[in-house]
Amino acid sequence: MSRQLFVIDPVERLRPQKDSSVALMQAAQRAGQEIWICQLSDLAAGNGGPRVRAQPIQAEPWYQLGDPEWLPLSHFPRVWMRKDPPVDEAYLYGTHLLELGERQGVQVLNRPASLRAWNEKLGALRFPHLMAPTLVSSHVADLSAFAESHGEVVLKPLGGRAGQGVIRTSAQAPGLGALLELVTNQQQLPVMVQAFLPAVINGDKRILLVNGEPLGAINRKPKAGEFRSNLAVGGQPEATALTAQERQICRELAPALREAGLFFVGIDVIGDRLSEINVTSPTGVREVERLGGIPLADLTQEQLLRPNLT
């Protein structure tokens, strides 16, 4: 029996009917894998190499824990980095410790170096032709000029998640300059500004890609009076199918994702425009399974356990 380690938030906080990490753990158990868990603070390294204080878990039914023990990180052929953002100092140091395990042959999902390199807002700018008009800048004058050119715009903090801190505004909005000074910390912090896409009223698609292949998607519709469609801020999930353009977006992303070792990714698409590439702890598995009838977590394990996966 092989083993998989999941680096997660405290297990008691996970909601089994909703959480994608739980879905992935349960699918791994069904695939005959031995499942262990830890938190970022349980990673360590020294002269003996990287190690981890981990606990075995019976994930289905949810959940039963075994006793924790210190083990070499190489004890686990596959390690899932499923700690939710923010990508703070603890998170970044955790990726460095996991990278030491990579050097010993551990497969880390997703690759630690790529978790650092692919900011979930900035990563999409590797494919600017797939996006709505976008600017990242710290300068109020540049951001104001962008808003003047595009009318309604959306401001996004580069470290934000789940729709937090996303603001819809326009060049005509009173106090725009003061708002831009605030979000840029007096022109010291870059932010992203994008042309507002009215198509968001029809929803924002979350597409889950496994080893570059789109295995399922949901459409997230914003609640009344809201433009943000994230589930965390009240968006409602619904079943959906991919458009031809969305499939083309996935085909264009796939080679770069595979090369970067980004095995499990959630992309966001609004009106056939790429919005974000989520790599840290993508969600949506439960919704795809429930609304689309797709056993996405089990399909993910099938992809992972293929002998020829690189």
Residue 64, SS3 per DSSP: strand
For the purposes of burial, counting CB atoms within 10 Å of the CB of 291, is it exposed (0-12), middle (13-18) or buried (19 or more)? middle
Candidate list 120, 204, 246, 268, residue with the active-site label: 268
Candidate list 111, 161, 205, 220, residue with the active-site label: 220
For a pLDDT cut of 90, what percent of the chain falls above it? 83
* 219 labelled catalytic: no
What pLDDT score does 227 carry? Answer: 64
What pLDDT score does 310 carry? Answer: 47
Give the residue-averaged pLDDT of 125-153.
95
* 51 labelled catalytic: no
Residue 307 has pLDDT above 70, yes or no: yes
* 268 labelled catalytic: yes
- In whole angstroms, give the CA distance from residue 238 to residue 197: 20
Contacts of 256 (CB under 8 A, 6+ apart): 126
**Average of per-residue pLDDT values in the chain:** 93
For the purposes of burial, counting CB atoms within 10 Å of the CB of 84, is it exposed (0-12), middle (13-18) or buried (19 or more)? middle
Query: Any long-range contacts for 45-54 (C-beta under 8 Å, 24+ apart)?
Result: 45/97, 45/100, 48/72, 49/73, 49/74, 49/100, 49/104, 50/74, 50/97, 50/98, 50/100, 50/101, 50/104, 52/5, 52/76, 54/5
Reference 250, options 271, 226, 238, 267; nearest CA is 267
Give the residue-averaged pLDDT of 281-296.
95
Q: Under a CB-based contact definition with an 8 Å cutoff, are residues 101 and 255 in contact?
A: no
| 61-103 pLDDT per residue, tens | 999 999 999 999 999 999 999 999 889 999 999 999 999 999 9
Candidate list 156, 161, 205, 286, residue with the active-site label: 156
For a pLDDT cut of 70, what percent of the chain falls above it? 94
Candidate list 83, 161, 205, 206, residue with the active-site label: 206
Residue 232 has pLDDT above 70, yes or no: no
Tell which wins on pLDDT, 172 or 110. Answer: 110
| 161-170 pLDDT per residue, tens | 766 778 899 9
Give the residue-averaged pLDDT of 256-277.
96
* 228 labelled catalytic: yes
* 121 labelled catalytic: yes
Tell which wins on pLDDT, 260 or 170. Answer: 260
Candidate list 204, 276, 287, 289, residue with the active-site label: 276
Residue 122 has pLDDT above 90, yes or no: yes
* 142 labelled catalytic: no
Candidate list 78, 83, 111, 121, residue with the active-site label: 121
CA angle 97, 68, 50 (to 5 degrees): 20
Contacts of 129 (CB under 8 A, 6+ apart): none
| 4-58 pLDDT per residue, tens | 999 999 999 999 999 999 999 999 999 999 999 999 999 999 999 999 999 999 9
